[in-house]
Structure formats: C-alpha cells, structure tokens
Structure 1
Amino acid sequence: MSKYSFELKLQVVQEYLSVVGGYTYLQDKYHLQGTRQLLYWVNSYKEFGEEGLRRKKHNAAYSTQFKLNAVNLYLTTGKSYREIANELKINNSAQIARWVLDYRENGEFSFSKTRGRPRKEPNLPLNNKKTSELSDSDQELSKIQKENLRLRIENEYLKG
C-alpha cells in the first residue's frame, strides 16, 4: 500500500500549481516527509498528468537495447537523469541512474544478465545432450565462446 493516496497527491500538486503555497508551506500543511517528495509529484504530474501520480500495478520491463540507449543518451548529452527519464517517458529517474552505474561497473554485459537461479549444469546445452554425445568440434567451439565472453567482459571492465 502506498503511503500517500492518489487524491492527496493530486490535491497537493494542484494547490502548488495554483500558487496556494510553496514546497515548504505545503509540506507543513499536509505533514509530508520532505519537499523532495512534493517536487517529484509535481514533475510527474507535469510530464505524465494524473497517471504520473497513480501507483503502478506492475513493473515495466525494458529491453537491453533500450537500457543501452538510455545510458548512451545520458553519457553523451550531459542531461540530468530526470531530463532523460522525462524524454524516455520513464517516471522513475533513479532507474536511469542505476543503469548508468551498472554500465560503468560491468559494461554492456550488465544488461544481458538472465534472472533467476542459474542452471545446475551450465555446461549442458539447452537441448539436453550429454557432453559425450557432442562432437569434439562442438565442445571446442563452446569452450572458445565461453573464453571469448570472459575476455570481452574483462576488457570492458578494464576500460571502465
């Protein structure tokens, strides 16, 4: 359950926009935790309307390419996280900051991680063939691909 109801958020934002009072006045009037929360609500209302103040029922899933584009946009333009989030229609600017931090730590491979528990036998291919049934060339190819991936990750880490 959200801490503040949609009706309260809407009322506070509308009072702010109609110049009833400033951030600190409205914070004291409605007993809000801080002015930052009100600033966030006002920005969300200006960018997304009333939907920006509503609590989301499910988390949005973003593709790897979308995340990379957002990070590149931040790194190349010099815009703030909030400006990038507004441009990409994301209500949570902290999400962009998280992506940038992950990118700086692990490179582009940080976005291609699979979720959940890893497989118990990672050497087995998806079609469940035993390694003895694979030809020598397939086994060698698999080893080379794994080593290539490890070296690319190491290279990105050393660059960053």
Structure 2
Amino acid sequence: MVTKYSDSLKLKVVRDYQEGYLGLRSVADKHGIRSKSQVDRWVKVYEKFGAEGLKTSKHKETYSVQFKLDVLSFIKRTGSSETEAALHFGLKQPTRIASWKKVFRERGAEGLDRAKGRSPMSDTSKRRKNKQIKEKDRTNEQKLVKENELLRLEVEYLKKLQAFQMDPEGYLERHKQRYHSNSKNNSD
C-alpha cells in the first residue's frame, strides 16, 4: 500500500529532522511516517532541490528507455543507492528507480518502454478488444522492426556500459551535463 503524504507534512518532517534534536526514526514515529528511510529520502531531496523537490508533481515526468538504462547501469557499476542515483541524475522521486529495477528484471529493456498507468479510454472491454486486434494485425515485419529496435538499444547500452567500465570518472564527467539537461527537459 502506498501512502500519500501532503507537501506541508513532508516539509514539516524535514525541518523537524534538521533541527537536530531527533533522529530519523524518532521523527518518523512522531509524524506517523512508516519508515525512517522515507524521512531520509525527503531530507536528501530537500537538500538537493529545496522545498520544490518535496512537492507532489501534478504531471508525471517521462524518461526515455536509454535514460532509465543509464540510471540502472550507474547503480550497478557504482554501488550507489537509489536515492544517491536519483540525486545524481536530478530525479526528485528516488522510489521511481525501484519500479524501473523491477520492470527491468521482469521484462527487460522492452518493459521500460511501456507507459505506466491507465490508458485514456474508460471502457475496459474496448481497450481489451483494441489490444487483441492490434496484436493480430501486427505483421511479422512490424515484430522484426520492434525487435531490431530493441537490439539496437541493447547494443548501444552495452557500448556505453563498456566505455563506463573502462573509464568511469571520465565517462561520468563527459555525460554529466547531458543527464542534467535531459532531466530538466523531461520535467517540463
């Protein structure tokens, strides 16, 4: 179960912790937050982005498959936590990375390409019927094009991974600016 917390509560919790009288667990208990790690994430996001970082976004930011793979690769290669990686890449919601990990484990890179959430159609049977028709209509050529695209993405990812493994510091320095501009463009 995901519990939603108000923006004002998040800010109050962070400021309470920053006063320095209570630890993460005590602040979490005081405000009825389930885990101290949640408080820790809010504190880190606040320190990086300010009060704006704690605000619940009205619209979902979307990220490319390549960006998601880069984030997951960064975690694997550096041993960073999801929160550290999120802050490094300018993501305000570190927990999103956990869902990317799960999808990647279960469905691979193709799963990261799927949009999450409900489709705009309200009639479930129409959605199901349309999906079945689309699957039947998809030709072998279309399937091969999709597979080819995924293989191209995988090769590109492996090349970047190899470059990163050979010179992690240099790679991160060369690509740091691009990641920050990507995350800013995606959040608009």
TM-score (norm 1): 0.65
Other-structure match for 1:82: 83
Count of equivalent residues: 136
The reply on whether 1:35 has 2:32 as its aligned counterpart is no
Aligned positions of 1:38-117 closer than 5 A: 38-113=39-114, 116=119, 117=127
Question: Using the alignment, how far apart are the partners of 2:111 and 2:71 within structure 1?
Answer: 14
Q: Give ranges in structure 1 of 5+ residues lacking alignment.
A: 126-141
Question: Using the alignment, how far apart are the partners of 1:96 and 1:5 within structure 2?
Answer: 21
Other-structure match for 1:143: 140
Hey, which bits of structure 1, 4+ residues long, moved more than 6 A?
Answer: none
Question: Using the alignment, how far apart are the partners of 2:136 and 2:9 within structure 1?
Answer: 55
8 A Cα contact 1:85 1:91, kept in partner: yes
8 A Cα contact 2:46 2:53, kept in partner: yes
Question: Using the alignment, how far apart are the partners of 2:78 and 2:133 within structure 1?
Answer: 43
8 A Cα contact 2:28 2:36, kept in partner: yes
- The offset of 1:45, in angstroms, is 0.9
Distance 1:38-1:77 versus aligned 2 partners, 3 A rule: closer
TM-score (norm 2): 0.57
Amino acid aligned to 2:133: K
Other-structure match for 2:173: none
Other-structure match for 1:15: 16
Alignment deviations for residues 39-97 of structure 1 (CA, whole Å, 9 cap, x no partner): 22212211211012211111111112211221222222222211111111112223222
Question: Using the alignment, how far apart are the partners of 1:33 and 1:105 within structure 2?
Answer: 27
Distance 1:98-1:146 versus aligned 2 partners, 3 A rule: same
- The offset of 1:3, in angstroms, is 4.8
Aligned CA RMSD, in angstroms, stands at 3.2
Question: Using the alignment, how far apart are the partners of 2:104 and 2:44 within structure 1?
Answer: 26
Q: Give ranges in structure 2 of 5+ residues lacking alignment.
A: 120-126, 155-188
Point out the structure with the larger helix share.
Answer: 2
Question: Using the alignment, how far apart are the partners of 2:51 and 2:72 within structure 1?
Answer: 28
